[in-house]
Copies of this chain bind each other. A is one copy, B any other.
Amino acid sequence: MPKRRPIPAKTAGQRRVRGSRTGRPIMVLLDLFGRRWSLRILWELREQSMTSRALRAACDEASPTVLQARLTELRDAGFIELIPASGYGLTPSGRELLETLLPLHRFAERWSKRGAS
């Protein structure tokens, strides 16, 4: 039973939402981000665009197979784009998404400095 979801894709210029069953957008995102390297890729692109190979280097040399898969998914989702001149970079939407994730950085620092609790 392939529980894995075909990932959001464009349909005639319109996003086809089909999340973890309900189609609720937040579920689609949580599902997409729950795949290996998704969040990491977005994170590494936060300050600069990179070629796919540089991105791979930035991501602990993750295998090109998955990386390429994530890249395609994130592209279909409209968060990143490939610009021949500069490589992969965030779209306006992707940048907006990253804005909402930035507080996570500060939280991570606080979190690591204290015990569990």
Contacts and interface: CB of A to CB of B under 8 A. Distances in A.
Q: Is the interface of A mostly helix, strand, loop or mixed?
A: helix
Interface string A10-48: 100111010011001111111101111111100100000
A3 B60 contact: yes
B30 A39 contact: yes
A14 B115 contact: yes
A85 interface: no
B108 A28 contact: yes
B109 A60 contact: no
Interface string A94-111: 001100110111111111
Given A93-B117, A101-B104, 14 more contacts: A10-B115, A15-B115, A21-B60, A28-B108, A28-B112, A29-B104, A29-B111, A33-B33, A33-B34, A34-B36, A78-B116, A78-B117, A96-B107, A97-B107
